[in-house]
Amino acid sequence: MPPKFDRKLNQHGVKGAYYGGEWVDLEDCAGTFQPDSSKCSGCPTRATCPRSQSRNAAASTTNEDNLVYDVIIIGAGCIGTSIARELSRYSLKTLLVESADDVSQGATKGNSGIVHAGYDDKPGSVRAKFCWPGNQMFPQLDRELRFGYQKNGSLVVATSSKELEVLEELMERGNINGVKNLRIIQKEELFQMEPALNPVCIAALYAPDAGNVIPYEFAIALAENAVDNGVELRIRREVTAIAKGTEGCFEVDLRHWEPQDYVDVRKKMGKSIDGTESKEISLLSLVMRLCVSFPASIVVMEGLVRFGLLEPSSKDDTKMVMTIVAFISTALVLFLPGGKRHRGTSVLKDIVAKCPPPVGSGDDGKVTLKDMFQGGSGSKTVQHGATVALESVKAKYIINCAGSYSDQIARMIGDDSFYIKPRLGDYILLNRNQGHLAHSTIFPCPDPVLGKGVLVQQTLWGNLILGPTARDMHNKETRDMSNESIQEYILSKCKQLCPYFDAKEAIQ
C-alpha cells in the first residue's frame, strides 16, 4: 500500500500556472500572460496569408525570385526554433523551413522535456560547457515567452553502497562542470521529499535547479516569437537538393506538399491549392451573388408592403426603400459565410464515435523509422501528402537543424563526416490522478551504456510520465520489440523507483 501523504498537485493552466520556474496562483497571474502588442516590430507582411506559410515576409520585395535570404534554417524543432528566435534580434532575412505539417513534430515532440542541471555530462565536452549556463537561462526565457517551466529538481537515487559511490562520482563531475547547489541527501530527508519512493532507496543526488517543460510548447513559443520578429516560416517543405549557386549563394530546392484530402476538396470547390481564388472564379462568384441578391430584395419589398409593414407615400419613397433593402440583402449575400449551419447541441459520444483513429496507429498509417526522420505522425507519408509545388530559394548561409535527418541534409553539400544512428525512446503517460506520487524528476543510477535510464517524472499538467526506453535501431533485438515487451520493460524499471502507481491509468 502507498504511504499516506498530503501533497498539492499543481496543474499548469488549472487555477494557476508555472511561470519562470515557480508556481503562480490564478489570482496572481493578472498581466503575466498578456504580451504588449505595442512593441511589435512592424515586419513586412503579404496581402494574403499563403497556405502553410507565415503571412510575414522576410523582406519587403515585389520580386521574390530575386530574393536572397541571409540565412535558411532547415528544421523547426527546439534547436531550429531557438536559433530562429535568436537571429530575429538582428536585421537579417531569415527563412525557417520544416518538412512536417507543423513545428516540433520530430524528436522535440516526444521526449521528457527535462532541463538538466549538467552533473552527468563528461567534463570538457560541449555539453558540459553549456548545460549549466543554459539551465540558468530558462527562468528568464519562460518569463519572456510564457511556455511553462517548472523548476521541480531532480533526484538520482541509490539503493546500495555501490550506487552511493556512483552518486559521489556524479557530484564530483557536476562540481567540475560548474553546477551549483548539488548535494547528496540521506534516506530520511529523501523520503520527506518523495514519500512514494521505493523503500529500498537509501540516498539520492539532489539537483534543485533541474526542471522540465512541455517540449512542443517550448518550440511553438520560440517559433511564434521568431515569426513575430520577422522570421519567415514555411512548413510542409521537404528539402530535396542543395547546390552552390551563383554569387556564392546556396540554392535550396523545396517540395511543398499538402494533405491529399485538402487538395481534393480545393479542386472540387474550383479553388487553387494555396488557399486563394483565381480572379475568374472570384468574379463569377460575385456576379452570381448579385444576381441572387437583387431579386431577393424585390421579394422582401413586396412582403413588407403586403403585410402592412411598409406604406410608401410616393414613388420616390418606394425607390428609396427598394434601394435600402437591395443594399442590405446584397451585403448579407456577399459577406455572410455560406454552407450548411448546424443548430442545437450534439451528443459528444456520437461525435467521438465518428472520429478516425489517431494518425500513426494501425497498419495503414503506422509511423515507420524513415517517417520519424521527417516529422513522424506529421510527415508527408503518414499524412498522405501530395506535392503541390516545387520551390527554389537562395541563401548566403544554411543552418542544419534537421535532427535525425541532418546527416542526409549534410550529404547534399558533400559533407559525409557523420551519420545518424537512431535510438528510439518509448514512454507511458499516466492520468493526473497519479501525478502526486512524484514531484521531482526521479532517475535511477545511470547505466554505463544506456545512460540516465528509465525515469519517473511529473509533467507540468500533473500527469506522471514513465520512460524512456533506449532502443538502438541497428540492433535487431531492440528494434523489433513488441509493444507488450516495451510496456513490460518500462513498468518493471519504474516500479523499482516508485512502486505505487497504477498502470491501469495509462492513457498513452
Whether the Cβ atoms of residue 94 and residue 227 lie closer than 8 Å to each other: no
pTM reported for the whole predicted model: 0.82
Structure-block grid coordinates of residue 259 = 494533405
- Chain-centroid distance of CA 114 in Å reads 15
Which residues lie closer than 8 Å to 77 by C-beta, 6 or more apart? 103, 104, 105, 106, 107, 108, 219, 401, 403
Q: What is the percent of the chain where pLDDT is above 70?
A: 76
φ/ψ (deg, to 5) at 457: -145, 140
Which amino acid, one-letter code, is at 105? Q
The pLDDT value given to residue 110? 86
- Position 145, amino acid: L
CA-angle at 466, arms to 463 and 470, nearest 5°: 145
pLDDT of residue 303: 57
Residue 241: per-residue pLDDT: 98
Contact 59, 44 (CB under 8 A): yes
Cα separation, 318 vs 328, whole angstroms: 15
The rounded distance, in Å, linking the Cα atoms of 428 and 436 is 16
pLDDT per residue as tens digits for the range 48-102? 677 888 887 776 555 666 789 999 999 999 999 999 999 999 999 999 999 999 9
- Low-confidence stretches of the chain (pLDDT < 70) are 1, 33-45, 47-48, 59-65, 274-365, 448-451, 508
Contact call for residues 154 and 210 (beta carbons, < 8 A): yes
Cα end-to-end span (Å), the chain: 25
**Residue 114 · residue 457 · CB < 8 Å:** yes
Instruction: Please report the pLDDT score of residue 29 as a whole number.
Output: 85
Q: What is the pLDDT of residues 435-486, one digit of tens each?
A: 999 999 999 998 766 567 899 999 999 999 999 999 999 999 998 999 999 9
Half-sphere exposure of 86 (CA within 13 A, CB side): 8
> Does residue 215 contact residue 109 with C-beta atoms inside 8 Å?
yes
User: What local confidence, expressed as pLDDT, does residue 39 receive?
Assistant: 61
pLDDT of amino acid 341: 43
Half-sphere exposure of 439 (CA within 13 A, CB side): 18
Regarding beta strands 250-259 and 237-244, do their DSSP bridges make them parallel or antiparallel, or are they unpaired? antiparallel
SS3 assignment, position 42: coil
Which amino acid makes up residue 423? R
CA distances from 171 to 120, 131, 167, 210, 450 (A): 9, 15, 6, 14, 20
| DSSP-derived 3-state class of residue 175 | helix
